[in-house]
Amino acid sequence: MASHEGVTMAATTIAKIFDHPRNAWYVAAWDHEVTRTPLARTVAGRPLALYRTEDGRAVALADACWHRLAPLSMGKVIRDEIQCPYHGLRYDPAGRCTHMPAQETINPSATVPSFPTVDRYRYVWVWVGDPSVADPDAIPDMHQMTDPAWTGDGELIHAPCNYQLVLDNLMDLTHEEFVHSSSIGQRELSEAEFITSHTETTVTVERWMRDIEPPPFWLKNMRDKFPDYDGRVDRWQIIHFEAPSTICIDVGVAKAGTGAPEGDRSQGVNGYVMNTITPETDRTSLYFWSFQRNYRLDSQLITTQLRNGVHGVFGEDERMLAAQQAAIDANPDYEFYSLNIDAGGMWVRRILDRMLAAEGRSAVAHAVER
């Protein structure tokens, strides 16, 4: 059941480095990255070799040959099989060895783990946990990525930090006032009230800023739809987290007083910042993002400008997150304090803690609330 809460919170502490659930779908790659040439990616601590079969199906195998652990991602694809680059053993999409050099009998133990994959929302999703519970319906909703009513583009950031730090960053956007002051930041972000709600697997943080001056990024977007517009706006940020690590942010501005808070956004511009973060190691993450919009769909110029603009904004985040991770490593015994603005992130951590506990891997050693 969802709950809607005030956000007055007592100062609490919480540990900084968070483990990652394994029984979950994570994005391993953009769909166009997985081809007939093997691709190496590490997902939730598991090195993978990704490739496509002749009919285009994505395959994810453990990136280590049964024989001498040579990386299969350094090999080549032959029909629907991947060949080890060291001694030529071949494996089918299920991970069974089908060929050994210089012998006819294949050792029945010659297998490598194979992991469920799904192509959806322009991504290849992989499940590295128990394959018997890998339900494709549990993939987080990112329909704006492929819905014809939306268009946009994005990138992959190799973030040098624990994935939870990225989630914290996205669940509290008041940092925009300070980290992104030249593009999307403004003081009203910290001044505006917000509402936090949650279910067993989701967290939503909603913030409205009424009758304000648009920051440069949003003024440019308004003028893409309403040339020469120079008025005040109503601005919104609706952050929606879906376990374990997908955050889609409904953002936009509309001409002030034209009904956007009540549901009429026709006098504004609307975007979705689509984010899904894959833990790679304890201190590195694969951060997949895209900015989708529902106006001027035919303009590749706007798509490119938005992608480049968001690239610059996220570059500022990346530098801050790298510095934060370095400070965490330099102060291993220091625990975080929480402010009211951390309400969304705290609920995210509770959900992840429950997921880890369900796998018998309680996060107590990694994230202790006191």
Helix (H) or strand (E) holding 290: strand 284-293
Closest CA to 76 of 86, 67, 66, 68: 86
How distant, in Å, are the alpha carbons of 37, 88, 182 from that of 81? 11, 11, 50
- Mean pLDDT per 10-residue section of the chain, whose length is 370 residues: 41 66 98 98 98 98 98 98 97 98 93 98 98 97 98 96 93 67 61 88 95 92 95 96 97 97 97 97 96 96 93 84 90 79 87 93 46
- 3-state secondary structure (DSSP) of residue 210: strand
Q: How far apart are CA 264 and CA 137, in angstroms?
A: 31
Q: What is the CA radius of gyration of the chain?
A: 23
Give tens-digit pLDDT for 345-362: 889 999 999 999 999 986
Dihedral angle, C-alpha 361, 160, 206, 24, nearest 10 ° = -40
pLDDT at site 177:
56
Q: Where are the alpha helices (DSSP H) in the chain?
A: 163-171, 176-179, 188-191, 216-225, 300-330, 343-358
**How big is the CA angle at 37 (ends 46 and 288), to the nearest 5 degrees?**
50
